[in-house]
Amino acid sequence: MAKLRDIAKACKSKNAGPFEITIDVMFDDAITFDAVCRSGVISPALFSRLYNVPAESVQFSVYPPAFAFKASFERPIPSGAVGDTDVYGAQQHAPLLDVEIPL
């Protein structure tokens, strides 16, 4: 088992417009990326569990040219609205860091 924080090249979040957040997990090379793909761990279900959003509302892409996974879903509060905590959406990736991948 390996934690994402130890094998990912990047794990980041950002607004995709004011109402959605998009999270990217990227790897250094095809070998790691393929192994993570095979594990099936990074999936809409994972984001659904970590962020408490319906799996069917997660727009999910596997993007081999960048050895990357991408998930986009609704923010609970739009960027900068009353009660928002992260205007740029840049610090919402952390729950992924401890996700374990069987390698």
Residues that bind another protein (CB under 8 A): 10, 14-20, 22, 24, 26, 50-52, 59, 61, 63, 65-68, 70, 72, 74, 76-88, 91-92, 94-95
Residue 100 Cβ, how far from another protein at the closest point, in Å?
Answer: 14
DSSP secondary structure letters along 56-99: GG-EEEEEGGGTEEEEEEE-SS-TTSTT-S-TT-TT--GGGTT-
Residue 68 Cβ, how far from another protein at the closest point, in Å?
Answer: 6
Residue 4 Cβ, how far from another protein at the closest point, in Å?
Answer: 14
User: Nearer to another protein by C-beta: 62 or 103?
Assistant: 62
Residue 39 Cβ, how far from another protein at the closest point, in Å?
Answer: 20
**For residue 10, how many other CB atoms are within 10 A of its CB?**
13
**For residue 94, how many other CB atoms are within 10 A of its CB?**
11
User: Nearer to another protein by C-beta: 27 or 101?
Assistant: 27
Distance of CA 21 to the CA centre of its chain: 9
User: Nearer to another protein by C-beta: 15 or 32?
Assistant: 15
Decide: residue 84, CB within 10 A, 0-12 exposed, 13-18 middle, 19+ buried.
Answer: middle
